[in-house]
Structures are given as structure tokens and as C-alpha cells.
Amino acid sequence: MTAYGRGEVETATQKWVVELRSLNHRFLELSLNLPKRLWALEDRFRKLIKSRVARGRVEMQLSWESQAEKSLTLRMDEGVVAEVKAVLEGIRLAGNTPESLKLEHFLHFADLLVVKEQANQDMEMEETWETVSQAVTLALDVLEEMRLTEGAALAADLAGHLADIRREVGLIAEQAPKLPQLWRERVTARLAELFPEGAPVDETRLAQEVALMAERRDLAEELARLDSHLTQFQQTLESQAPVGRKQEFLLQEMLREANTIGSKANDLAISQAVLEIKGSLERLREQVQNIE
């Protein structure tokens, strides 16, 4: 589900800001934008987010700024200077150039001068994690609250579609007991077309054929399974655990039962009800992809 969360933590020397954004996605996908100095903590950040989010694409942006002036020193790397001098001298001799080495020749090598923060400004990695993880947790709290609000609205919408499906299932259940008599009337009418002279009809054989057809096309099992799937789906709307994958599975099973009912019944009223059910299932499927 789409949501946004922001967390901010300040220390005496640093201010850390974490921003999280979640987008709809079938699986859990994390995209972390971390400063290079914190790359070693990436796995910890991933585990922390995964402990709170089970599905969706989550983007994390981490920024920081200093709360105090840094104490810096500028020093010369004497070892590098000596190596550069030797290389330049070798080039001069190889080229048989009378020109002597000058300061400007050395300044082309940036590594000769090193800027180094004083030790009292260095933050240990563990101390950094303790601070930044607090900001991530705060951002996750806000993100989760927003997702819960959206989830409640989404659950209400899903419940409406379930009610639509149950209404159509009720219509099918009402129509199903009438099918044997309808089939009998159709068979009788067809025989009358084939034998307009009024050929005798074996009522016993006709009753047997209708009974056999009713047995082959009985909808009781499909209706029972469909009702069970609807009940389980309703229960997922009341669950606090991640249910998106289970809902997808239940929708697949409901669609399977609806297709079977439509093919077995061979009745216009039931076929129309099945079409309505399949339309509601498709709307549910689109919404379920957004659920954790």
C-alpha cells in the first residue's frame, strides 16, 4: 500500500533524517539510499524494515548534517611525495629534459595532501547504528499508521465486493433445486420436436435420465466450497497478520468454483450470476495486489 513515514533523531553532533515511502508491489522490494560511510549497515537496515513490512516496494532515504563545527587537520603524505618525486625525476631523465622539477608539477597529484577529521569527531559504527536505527523505527511507526488507515478503507471496500458475491451465490443456491425440473421440461420439449406425431415417451426412462443429469451436474459441492472460501476471505479482513498471499490463493479457488458452476449448470440465470461473481472476483484481485 502507498504510505509515507519520516523519522528524525538529533544528537550533540549529528542530525539524522530517515524518509520511507511504500508503493504497491506483489513482493517485498527494498531500495535504500545510504551515505557511503553507512554502507556497512545496509544489511541491518534491511532486516529492521523487513521486521515491520512484509509486502510492497519500500524506498528509504537517509540524510544527515553536522550539529557542530568539525575540527580538521591538513597534512602532507610524505611517502606519496617521495614516490611522485621519483616518478617525475625518472620521466625527466628518460625524456632528456633539462627542466627541473617545480611545485606546480606536484600539485597535479591530489593524494599528496590529506584532510583528516580529528578523532573526537569520528562516530563509531555501533553508536551510529544505535542512533540511526531510532530514526528508522520512528519512520516505520508513521508509515505503519498510514498503511493501517489505508488498509481499513481497503478492507471495507473488499467486504462490499464479498457481499456482492454472496448475493449472487444465494441466487444460484435458490435456482439449483429447480434445475432438474427445467431439464425435464427441456428434454420433453426436444422430444416433441423430434417426434411431432406424438410418439410415446417412456416416463421411467425420462426420469432416470433427468436423475442422472442432476447427479452429474449437482452444484452442492461447488457451492459449499465457494461459501467456505468466502468465509475464509472474510476472516483475513479481520486478521492483523500479512494476508495478501492467502487472499490471492482464495480468489483463485473461488474463480475455479465459479467456472465449474457455470459449466455444470447450463442455465441462463445461473450463468448470469456467475458472470457477476467473476466480475467481483476480478475487482477483488486488483485490490488484493495492494495488500500486505
If you ran DSSP here, which 8-state letter would residue 95 be given? T
Cell numbers standing for residue 226: 465457494
pTM over 0.85: no
pLDDT tens digits, residue range 131-155? Answer: 999 999 999 999 989 888 888 888 8
pLDDT digits (tens, 9 = 90+) for 235-274: 988 877 778 888 999 999 999 999 989 888 778 888 899 9
Residues 35 and 84 in one domain: no
Question: Which among 26, 36, 32 is positioned nearest to 44, based on CA atoms?
Answer: 32
Residues 258 and 269 in one domain: yes
Decide the pairing of beta strands 56-66 and 28-33: parallel
Q: Residue 178 pLDDT > 90, yes or no?
A: no
Q: In degrees, to the nearest 5, what angle opens at C-alpha 85 toward C-alphas 81 and 86? A: 120
Q: What domain range is 279 assigned to?
A: 152-288
CATH number of the domain residue 13 falls in: 3.30.230
Number of domains in the chain: 3
The Cα–Cα gap between 148 and 271 comes to: 38
pLDDT digits (tens, 9 = 90+) for 179-238: 777 767 776 666 666 666 665 666 676 666 666 666 666 788 889 999 999 999 999 888
Residue 22 shares a structural domain with residue 138: yes
Note whether 179 and 259 are same-domain residues: yes
Distance from C-alpha of 24 to C-alpha of 10, rounded to nearest angstrom: 31
Residue 206: closest CA among 186, 189, 187:
187
Residue with cell 544489511: 43
Question: What's the first-to-final CA gap in the chain, in angstroms?
Answer: 7
Residue 183 shares a structural domain with residue 197: yes
Confidence of residue 95 (pLDDT cuts 50, 70, 90): confident
Q: Are 86 and 45 in contact (CB under 8 A)?
A: no
Is the Cα torsion angle 213, 216, 219, 220 positive or negative in sign?
A: positive
Residue 166 has pLDDT above 80, yes or no: yes
Dist. CA 1–CA 150, nearest whole Å: 7
Choice between 14 and 45, residue whose per-residue pLDDT is larger: 45
Question: Can you tell me the mean pLDDT for 75-103?
Answer: 77
pLDDT given for residue 30 in this prediction? 93
Give residue 31's identity as a one-letter amino acid code. Answer: S
